[in-house]
């Protein structure tokens, strides 16, 4: 569930970012790496929903890995931090080939909003 800080509502799940039209930012937590990626929340939600994955940030960030650190280490370095970036008017650096079905999205929102 989203929480309030400084009078603002901050999402803690991918579907909350999509509902609030906030971008999703994933960044590497390795001390020497500054690699970040910005995703469209609707595309990320569609991927997680299609595969049946949990979309809370603390669980979802385990699914992402840093390509730069992985190429240096020779194996996948899964040390990502996921957060919301704010309004959807920023630059999306990574796109996903999956598009959310509008009917599924509206049914999902009707189940989770109350």
pLDDT of 4 reads 64
Q: pLDDT-based confidence at 62, cuts 50/70/90?
A: very high
Angstrom distance (rounded) from CA 107 to CA 103: 6
Least confident window among 38-47, 53-62, 105-114: 105-114
Nearby residues of 3 by Cβ (< 8 Å), 6 or more positions away? 9, 10, 12
In 29-97, DSSP assigns E strands to 36-39, 80-87
């Amino acid at each position: 569930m989203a929480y309030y800080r400084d009078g603002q509502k901050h999402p803690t799940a991918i579907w909350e970012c999509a509902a609030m039209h906030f971008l999703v930012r994933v960044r590497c937590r390795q001390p020497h790496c500054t690699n970040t990626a910005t995703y469209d929340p609707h595309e990320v939600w569609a991927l997680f929903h299609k595969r049946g994955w949990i979309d809370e940030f603390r669980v979802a960030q385990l699914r992402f890995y840093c390509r730069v650190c992985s190429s240096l280490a020779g194996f996948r370095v899964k040390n990502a931090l996921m957060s919301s970036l704010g309004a959807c008017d920023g630059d999306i650096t990574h796109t996903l080939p999956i598009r959310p079905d509008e009917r599924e999205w509206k049914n999902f929102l009707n189940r989770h909003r109350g």
